[in-house]
Amino acid sequence: MAKDLQKFLNLLDERGQLRRIKAAVDPDLEVAEIANRLLLSGGPALLFENVKGASMPLAINVLGTLERVCWSFGMESPEELEAIGQKLALLYQPRPPKKFSQAVELGKALFDVVKAKPDRDLFPPCHQVVLKDDAVDLNKLPLLRVYSGDAGKVITLGLMVTKDPESKIPNVGVYRLQLQSKNTATVQWLSVRGPSRHLRKAAERGEKLEVAVAIGVDPLLILAAATPLPIDLSEWLFAGLYSGNGVNLAKCKTVDLEVPALSEIVLEGTITPGETDIDGPAGDHIGYYGPQRDNAPLLRFHCMTHRKNPVYMTAFSGRPPKEDAMMALALNRIYTPILRMQVPEIQDFFLPMEGLSYKAAVVSIDKSYPGQARRAAFAFWTALPQFTYTKFVIVVDKAINIRDPRQVMWAVTSKVDPARDVFILPENPFDRLDFATEKPGLGSRMGIDATTKVYPETDRPWSDELIPDPETAELVNRRWAEYGLDDIDLGDVNPNLFGYDIH
């Protein structure tokens, strides 16, 4: 498993998943246009070695396919990610073991926590070059402007580190920063996020909030920072659980915070409560421009450190597929065991990329009593913080392949009576970036019970589903080569043959 960005890029290069671009490119619109075309086609990661106005190369589309996200975990397939989720499920809501085998599993998970404790690096690579005060110039970084209507250049994949002024527990997250001047930037975050809480506490204490932004880190750390955690757990610890070893941290030069020692670039600064600037508009993951904010928190950076030959790593949001959608697909697998522990009847769930990674969910259950689909939908909405913003939950039987939209559509159309099986919850707290809601910050949720109905959900007898005759199916399996059809790959189906228009 790679431990830093440059090692991961080397891994991609060895596996034919990295293209080095030597031609001069403009970070204003041009880089994003190139990268987006490759994202849409599942293409390789890109390393732009000659970015106009910058002295360092730019890596993008690094996590642009689910396969590459799996590689960042040291795994080869999405199914393997559930093993991580099973480990996290034991720690997310620990319960007293009822059997010896459960005690053993919990003991293994707790031992993994001990191994995951962060290490400290006294001579970190991220401190090879130190710039302070007037020498800090964010314009020297190859910052992108992604869309023509964007208000300015942005930093998108930096790990922002803040610390609770009372408990001193750090929070690590990924937020968009918009450049305002050579050493200032505004930040876009939701009011429920950790740094927003930290800023409110700092304001109550009459203090500035210290901030560090680590850019160009091991991709695994980005995924750990995107995982929803209980407030009192550290993302560094979870990153260690992901990788099996503690994260190497380094103490910042000018603020009382720690960052990954192998970061390519680190920005250090403060936010003064009440000091704001205009942020946006900027392209957002919903697929539209996010609105202008007149009072976005302003970060003032007074120190920048970096490696001798750093690589700037970035990504951008927008209508899927984008890198954040690929990361969400991987996290979907990791969340599954956590969700099963909280709602045992849930067999599996899927957040389709086209549903903006969290706006629509398909949930399968092992149905055994009437009303169970509604219970599963309500439980899903409250299971993890980000599911609060899921607009649509479709609940199907366990026999349905939730990752096959054709099967899901069949279940909806053949098993749903809208008056009985569709339920709507109005006036819920919601994502302010969702323009479909009537009021900013308030929206409705819809559940669809697409399971087979049982009494008293219906008084009509439910007919048997059409399935092949098992004996005949086995006979055909045995004689398939005899028919002269063994050269046909039945598993590789082109959806366009069935009326779709997918490019």
Q: Which of 150, 284, 324, 431 is catalytic?
A: 284
Beta-carbon contacts of 137 under 8 Å, excluding residues fewer than 6 positions away, are 131, 182, 183
User: Residue 309: beta bridge partners?
Assistant: none
* Contact between 377 and 396 (Cβ < 8 Å): no
284 has catalytic annotation? yes
Tokens at 456, concatenated: 């008293």
Q: Which residues contact 340 (CB under 8 A, 6 or more apart)?
A: 89, 346, 347
Q: Where are the beta strands (DSSP E) in 118-264?
A: 119-120, 129-132, 154-155, 159-163, 170-174, 176-181, 184-188, 209-215, 248-251, 258-260
Q: d(Cα 164, Cα 198) in Å, to the nearest integer?
A: 5
Question: Amino acid letter at 84?
Answer: I
Helices (H) and strands (E) in the chain, counts: 13, 23
Given the structure tokens 């689909």, which residue do they identify? 373
Instruction: Please return the burial class of 19, using the count of CB atoms within 10 Å of its CB with bins 0-12, 13-18 and 19+.
Output: middle
Handedness of CA 116, 117, 123, 127 (dihedral sign): positive
Reduce the DSSP state of residue 260 to 3 states and report it: strand
Catalytic annotation, residues: 284
